[in-house]
Every structure is written in structure tokens, then in C-alpha cells.
Amino acid sequence: MSGEVSAARAGSVQLGDRKVHRLGLGTNRLTDTEPARALLRRAVELGVDFIDTADVYQSTASETAIGNTFGTSAGDVLVATKGGMVRSSDGRGVDGHPEYLRRAVEASLRRLRVDSIELYQLHRVDPEVPIETSVEALKEIQKAGQIRRIGLSNVTVDELERARRVATIVSVQNRYNILERNEEPVLEYCDAHSIVFIPWTPVLRGNLGQAKTLSEMAARRGITPYQLALRWLLRRSPVMLPIPGTLSLAHLEENLAAADIELSDDDFRRLSQ
């Protein structure tokens, strides 16, 4: 690896009618501070054009930070947000009712300071509301011009298929990384149908050291296990769009440098096992 890192080196993926680079930025820990806004600006300077957030991240502060950084001048940056999770006394609850989703979209529009959200994802399926009902509501909001593309998060293959009968689904965001692959059936479905797969928690900082093969291979190359884990994700599927989150400028560049790591067929097989 040499020279300045760039998200562009990870290649691109097609989100409906929009192409974005395959290394984005997750913002679940981002608050509305100047260091956070500086991180967002630096990410864009380095070619990141996909930023993921949600209305519940840091009690709306993540969306606010993005809105205060870019607002209507986001330009080539595709900002994706999520709705459908709510704060409750026992942690995070779920609300997939159409009325709630309409209010959530309007609130996200205000915080992001845009007229239309590029990608809006149903954060979690409400067990009390059929997914068809929630997605139909998002489709109506899309027709009204408040959102441009629809995605899903934390869904099964069955739920994804049912949602696709109602609207065009361009992305799925489920938990997936080199150590946690329970969502393999969903990833394979997305691969087969050219739906972008956005793995949340793409690296497990603090836990990857337990993976012996990964740690040894990274040490021999003079890179971190986290970089190698990201490189494995990029190799795993052409529809993969990892969104590693960070509050550190150094870690941001470290994550983007993963795109330059060479991974042979044999290395990929060993890591996959």
C-alpha cells in the first residue's frame, strides 16, 4: 500500500440508479461536535460517498451532525438513514406503523436539512405490523418525493421477498462480519438479486484478536486484523458495502486502506474457513 488512501479503490456498487464506492462510513457513535464534523469532511475528501446513519443514533445527534456538516450541499455524498426503532423504557422498541414512519421521515428530513432522503431504510420489522404495510407506507412517501430509495435492515429472506412484492428494495443492512455469518442466506439472496448488502458491525474491534488465522496473517503483512477483516468482506461479495464506524481520523484512513490489501484465492479460502 502506498500513497493516500481512497474509498474509490474499493470499487463501486449500484444502489438502484446510483453508484457509490464500496467502503462507506457508519456514524452510530457520531455526535454533533466540530471533531465529528471534521471527520465527516475528511471522509468525503478521501472519496467516501456513502454515509449511513439512523434517527436513533446518539438520540438523533448523528443525523444532526451530518445535516450541519453537509445539509443541501451534500453533492455526490449519498446519506442513508433509518427509521422504525423507538426509545422505550426497556431499551429500543419498534414501530412500523405508517403514521409513525411518516413522522420519522419528516423529522429526519429536518435534521439532515434536505428535501429528500437518498436512501431510507426500515430499521427493524415491527412484529405487530406486517412488513408489507410498513413498506407500502415508505413507497407512498417515496412517491411524494421525500425519499428516493427504499432499503431494509435486520430482515430475513422471507421478509425481504415479501417487501419486494410491494416496492423496489435496493439495500439490506444486517449484522455480518468475518466472525458472525448467521446472515449468510440473506447475503446470498442479495447477491443473486443484485441488492446491495450493508453489513453492520463489519469489524469487531477487541474481538478479532481471538481469530488466530486472521491475526497471524495480518501480522505477517504488517497490517491490522481489522483491515484484513474489511478486505475479506470486500472479496466475499460484489454487492457488499461495509460501513466501518469510527471517531478517529487515523482509523478512518486505516479502514479505507483495506481496499489496497492484496488477498489471494488461498488467503481468502483460509480466512473463510
Rg (Cα) of the chain, in Å, rounded?
A: 18
Specify the pairing of strand 91-94 against strand 50-52.
unpaired
Sheet harboring 196-197: ordered strands across? 25-26, 50-52, 78-83, 119-122, 150-153, 169-173, 196-197
120 near 83, Cβ under 8 Å? yes
84 near 122, Cβ under 8 Å? yes
Amino acid identity at 109: L
Which residue in 227, 62, 78, 67 sits closest to 148, CA to CA?
78
- The phi-psi region of residue 259 (left if phi > 0; otherwise alpha if psi is between -120 and 50; otherwise beta) is alpha
Which residue in 160, 196, 190 sits closest to 16, CA to CA?
196
Amino acid identity at 170: V
Active site residue 57: yes
Residues designated catalytic: 57
